[in-house]
Structure 1
Amino acid sequence: MFSKRIKFNTALAALLLSPSLAFAHTGTGQAVGFAAGLSHPLSGLDHILAMVMVGVVAWQLGGRAVWMVPATFVAVMGVGGALGMMGIALPFVEAGIGLSVIVLGVIVALGVRAPVAVAVGLVGLFAVFHGHAHGSEMPAAAAGMAYAAGFLIATAALHVVGLAMGYGIARAGDTKGVVVTRSAGSAAALAGIGLMTGLI
């Protein structure tokens, strides 16, 4: 079941991004853009933690949330990225990113089981901030579509990592699973606090 869900998420991401990927290797700007976009989400602890936590939250909720929550994050992050690339200002971007790590970490730690619509709305809100940060930090030499394809693929991959973590936690059993979940979520939330206060 887990394998099918992961394959579906990967296929969905590949399908959505295939038009952009076609440009990833044509010309210097495209190649630079794709590589820069792919590496950008992996260069910051805040982005990594939030995106992995999205995958864990999706796994904890189960059912439709397993694909809807990550897919929403990727789609809305694309919108936020476009806003950033166009230079459209968005207030509280850094605070929104930091808060996303804290809130998602707490949700994972406490095992909060919100309705799917609420979870989708929450991750969608946070995705705008993450996407805007990626878009506004696009290198001048990068091609926009290739850069966007890169950071969306990297994000989807991090969501898959989170889903795999959720699966691993579930396999650990009720007692061990709860301990691991609380530890992982708490660590992410504390890291988020550290990032927001400048301690990390």
Structure 2
Amino acid sequence: MAVQKDHWYDRALILLSSLTVSVQQTDGVTTVKLEEGMVLVCVCPWEGKLTMVSWSKRIRFDKVPIAVYGVSISQSYQTRIQFLKSTPMDGSIAITNVTQEDTGVYHCSVQTFPRGSWVRDILVEEDDADEGQEETDIHTREPEPSPVDFSLSAYLIYIYVSGGVGGLLILLSALSFQYWSFGRDPPSDLKMYR
């Protein structure tokens, strides 16, 4: 005679393997000199499927959307921005007809599948500013603190991560309850099969 067993742990392993958590990775701050046709490089360093590229510019404490690849470009940049897309993971842009107002910190956010998001901040400075200084290495420069960003891409990542963590907590609660309830007394209606 064989006893039918509930293989809940098999289902738990399958569910756990399907849950993923997206972690935003950053590449620090790069400095670019303000010049005509300047290129703001934003190339994701890993392989995958690029699902979205968005650019914003920090003005005071706000991130003002500039462009989303294939979706929209802000009115003031409409004729001045071109997405380069030289490789499948390239979100770089070129800006033409530059003015002094184009200086500041630009934020590139690349959404990829399956690894999540990758971001880069680019500081655009006037050519004559700090002329005697060497360019700062992106790995040694401290990134500027940024305010909380509730843009669409950040909100979607928040939902994605929260959903994964929330699902994991629900699963662990259900498994704990099942273990606790079946661990105390075996079910009285356990059926025997041949």
TM-score range, shorter chain: under 0.3
The structure with more helix, counted as a fraction of residues: 1
Name which structure has the greater RCO, CA cutoff 8 Å, separation 6+: 1
Which TM-score applies when normalising by structure 1?
0.22
Between Structure 1 and Structure 2, the one with more strand by share is 2
